Amino acid sequence: MEDKVLNLFLAKEKNSERENQEVLNLDELGVIGDRFYGKKPKRSVLITSISSYQLMKENNIEAQYGQLGENILVDCDIYDLEVGSKLEIGQVELEISQPGTLCQGLAKVDDSLPNLLQGNRGIFAQVKKSGKIYCGDNVKVTN
C-alpha cells in the first residue's frame, strides 16, 4: 500500500478558513496563492499526518481537516522524518526544514490542543522542485 495525499488546502487571507483544493501549484517560494507565499520559503509548506486528527479524536476533540493549518494532509506518519529529509509528492520535491510549531489558533479549536499536539502538529518543508500536487498523489521519502 502506498502513502497518499488525502487533502490539500490553502488560506488566501489572514484569519480565513483554509480552502480545500484539488491541486496545489508550488514553486521555490511556496504554495502559489497561499497567504504565506514568499514570506518564509524555508517553512512555506506545512504537511500534517492524519495521525494528528486521530490523536485529537481519541481525546474527544473534533476538528475539520485543515484546521491545523496544513497545506498537505497525508495518510502516513511523517513525524520521525529528520530535517533535511526529502519527500517526493506528485511533481514536487520537498525538503523538511523544521518540525511544525504550535500556534495560538490551535487553542481556538480546543484549549488542550497545543499541549496534545506537541511534536505532532506537522512538519514544515521547503520546495526544492516546483510543480503540482494533486489529491491522491503518492508520497515518497527519497532519502
24 touches 133 (CB < 8 A): yes
* Distance of alpha carbon 129 from the chain centroid: 17
* Distance of alpha carbon 78 from the chain centroid: 10
For the chain, 143 residues long, the average pLDDT of each consecutive 10-residue run is: 89 80 96 93 93 94 91 93 95 94 77 85 95 97 87
Identify the pLDDT of residue 111.
85
Cell of 29: 517560494
For residues 75 and 130, what is the distance between their CA atoms, to the nearest angstrom? 22
Cell of 61: 476533540
Cell of 24: 496545489
**Predicted model pTM:** 0.93
Mean pLDDT, all residues of the chain: 91
- Tell me: the pLDDT tens digits for 29-67? 999 999 999 999 898 899 999 999 999 999 999 889 999
Decide: helix, strand or coil at residue 56: helix
Domain ranges of the chain: 5-141
* CATH class of this structure's domain 5-141: mainly beta
C-alpha closest to that of 65 among 135, 139, 140, 2: 135
Identify the pLDDT of residue 11.
87
Identify the pLDDT of residue 15.
67
